[in-house]
Structure 1
Amino acid sequence: MMTQDLLTDAVLYIYALSLLFFVSDAASGNRSARRVGTGLLVFVWVIQTAFLLYILVQSLSNPSLTIREFLFYVSWLLVSLSFLLNRWLRADLLVLLVNVVGFAVLALNLLEHQRRKMELATEEVARRLLVVHISFITLAFVVLTVTALLGSMYLFLHRRLKTKKWTPLMSRMPGLELIDRYAYRSGLIGVPLLLLSLSTGTAALMLTKSLSDLLDLKVVLAYLAGAVYVVSLVRSKIARDDGAELARWNLIGYALLIADFFASALSSFHRMF
C-alpha cells in the first residue's frame, strides 16, 4: 500500500479506474465506458461523503483540520461539482478535467507528511472566524479551479481557431462564447468567496497575532491573488477585455493561489505541512 490510510487508498484506486473509463469515452466516444466511469465516480462520492460526515462529527468537539482532511474535502467538492457540470453544461471535456484535478488533489495524500493540525485560535471569536475562513477559502479554491480550467480551455481553443489548426478534441469542447460566459460567472462566485475568506482570516489574525504578521508571505500572496481577480472582473466590465485577456488574468490569479497554498511551509503561523 502506498499510504497508511486504507480509505484513502480505496478511493484513489476506484477514482483512477473511473478516470480511465472517462478517458476512453473522451477518446473514442464509448458511452458504455462513460456509464461505468460515472457509476464508479458515484461510488467514490458516497465514500467521500461518509468520511466527511465522520470528520464533521469529530470536529464538533475538536475544531481542527489536518492537511489530508482538507485535501479530501476539496476533492469531494470537485467531484460534486463535476456532477453538476455534467448535468447543466454537458461539457464532457470540462467534466473530465475537473475530475483530473480532483484526483490530483486527493493523490497529494500519497505524500507521507505528519498529520499536523491547522491550529485554531483558543479565543472563541477568533476560533469561529477561522472556521468560517477555512470554509470560504476551500469553496473559493474549488470554484476558481473551475474558472482556471475554463480559462485554459478558452486560450487553447482560441489559439487553435486563430491558427486554423482543427483537432477532433476541439469538437468535444463548448464554444468560445459559452466558455467565456461560464468563466465570468464562476469568477463572480469564486472572487467574493475569496474576499470573504480574506476578511475573516485577517480579522482572526488581528485578534490573535501582531499586525506585523499581515506581512507574512502566505497572507501577501493571498491578497495579491484577490487583487488580481478583482482587477480581472473590473476590466471585463469597464475595459471590456476579450475572453482571452480575461482568461489570462484568471490564470495569473490562480497561479498566485497555488503559490499561496505551497507557501504554508514558509509561513510563520499557518503551516499545513
Structure 2
Amino acid sequence: MITKSWLYDAIIYIYALSLLFYFADFASPNREAKRIGTGLLSFVWGLQTVYLVYNLMSHKSLFAFSVFETLFMLSWVLVTASLIINRIFRIELFVFLVNLIGFSVLALNFFSNPGVSPTLGSWKINDELLFIHISLAICSYAAFAVAAVFSGMHLYLHRRLKGKKWTSSVKRLPSLEKTDRYAYVSVIVGAPLLMLGLALGVVWIVLEGDYRLLFDPKVINSWVVLAAYLFYLFQRLALQTPGNKLAKWNLAAFVIVLINFAVSNVSQFHRWG
C-alpha cells in the first residue's frame, strides 16, 4: 500500500489544474482549454483507477471497506460520471462543480488517512494539506494582483483617450480591449484557484475538528473575496457590463483582497509569524 503522500499531492495538484482549465473554458469557451482539462482529469481518473484496483485486489473480502476506501470510491465515481456526462452533454459548469465536490472529498480522504506519512519527515500530514491550501491561495492572490494592474491601466487609458490626451505613456500601453481582456483572463485564473484553496481550507478545519474556525474573520472575508470576483465574472458574462465599470469593480475587489491580509492580524490561525 502507498504510504507516502507525494503521490496524493501530485493527484491533488493535477486535479486542481484540470478544474482550472474547465473553469476557463466555461468562462470563455476555448476548445484547447477544454481538451487540456479533460486530458488532465482523465489522467487523475487513471491514477485513481489503478489505486482503486490495487486496493480491491489486496482485499480479503469484497464486502469490507474502510471509510478511506469508501470516500475514495465516491471521488472516483464523481470523476467517472463527470467525464461521461461531459462527453455526452458538454456541460462545463456541471463538470466543474461536480469535480469541486470530488476534489474536496479526495482531499479529505487522503489527508485523514492515518496510514499516510508526510513527504517531509518534520511535517504532520495536516501540515502538507495546509501547504497546498496556502500555495493555491497565494497563486490566486497573485492572479488578482495582475488583474488589478491591468484594470488600473484600463482606467488610466480610458480617461486619457476620453480627454484626448495623447502622450507617450498612452502610446506605450496596450489597447483598451487588451487591458480588459488580460484582466478578465487573470480573474478566470484566480477565481477557481481561490475556490479550490478555500475547499482545502474547509477540509483542514474538518480534520482539525474545530468548527469555530469556519467563522474566523479571515475565512469569512475570503468568501467575500471569492463572491466579489464571481460577481465580476457575472457582470461580464451575463450583464455585458462596459469595460471601464468592470475595471472599477475589479479594483474594488482587490481592495477586499488587501483587507484580507489586514484581517490576518485578528485571525485565530492566519496570524502572520
Give the TM-score normalised by structure 1: 0.53
Q: Which has the larger radius of gyration?
A: 2
For residue 160 of structure 2, what is the aligned residue in structure 1?
160
Q: Which amino acid aligns with 1:246?
A: L
For residue 185 of structure 1, what is the aligned residue in structure 2?
185
Pairwise CA distance, 1:209: 4.5
Q: Which amino acid aligns with 1:269?
A: F
Q: Is the 8 A contact 1:127 1:204 kept in 2?
A: no
For residue 201 of structure 1, what is the aligned residue in structure 2?
201
Mapped to 2, the partners of 1:193 and 1:183 lie a distance apart of 16
- Report % sequence identity: 37
For residue 34 of structure 1, what is the aligned residue in structure 2?
none
For residue 219 of structure 1, what is the aligned residue in structure 2?
219
Q: Provide structure 2 residue ranges, at least 5 long, that are not aligned to the other structure.
A: 1-5, 7-122
Pairwise CA distance, 1:206: 2.4
Mapped to 1, the partners of 2:205 and 2:212 lie a distance apart of 10
SS at match of 2:164: coil
1:271 aligns with 2:271: yes
For residue 138 of structure 1, what is the aligned residue in structure 2?
138
Over residues 21-47 of structure 1, what are the superposed CA-to-partner deviations in whole Å (9 max), with x where a residue is unaligned?
xxxxxxxxxxxxxxxxxxxxxxxxxxx
Pairwise CA distance, 1:123: 5.6
Mapped to 2, the partners of 1:250 and 1:200 lie a distance apart of 25
Pairwise CA distance, 1:175: 0.5
Mapped to 1, the partners of 2:209 and 2:231 lie a distance apart of 29
Q: Which amino acid aligns with 1:179?
A: T
Matches within 5 A, 1:23-38: none
Mapped to 2, the partners of 1:123 and 1:234 lie a distance apart of 40
Matches within 5 A, 1:20-59: none
Q: Is 149-158 or 210-219 further displaced after alignment?
A: 210-219
| Residues 157, 209 of structure 1: alpha-carbon distance in 2 compared, 3 angstrom cutoff | farther
Give the TM-score normalised by structure 2: 0.53
Pairwise CA distance, 1:165: 2.6
Which portions of structure 1, spanning 4 or more consecutive aligned residues, are displaced by more than 4 angstroms? none
For residue 237 of structure 1, what is the aligned residue in structure 2?
237
Over residues 28-67 of structure 1, what are the superposed CA-to-partner deviations in whole Å (9 max), with x where a residue is unaligned?
xxxxxxxxxxxxxxxxxxxxxxxxxxxxxxxx9xxxxxxx
Mapped to 2, the partners of 1:191 and 1:209 lie a distance apart of 27
Q: Provide structure 1 residue ranges, at least 5 long, that are not aligned to the other structure.
A: 1-59, 61-121
SS at match of 2:166: coil
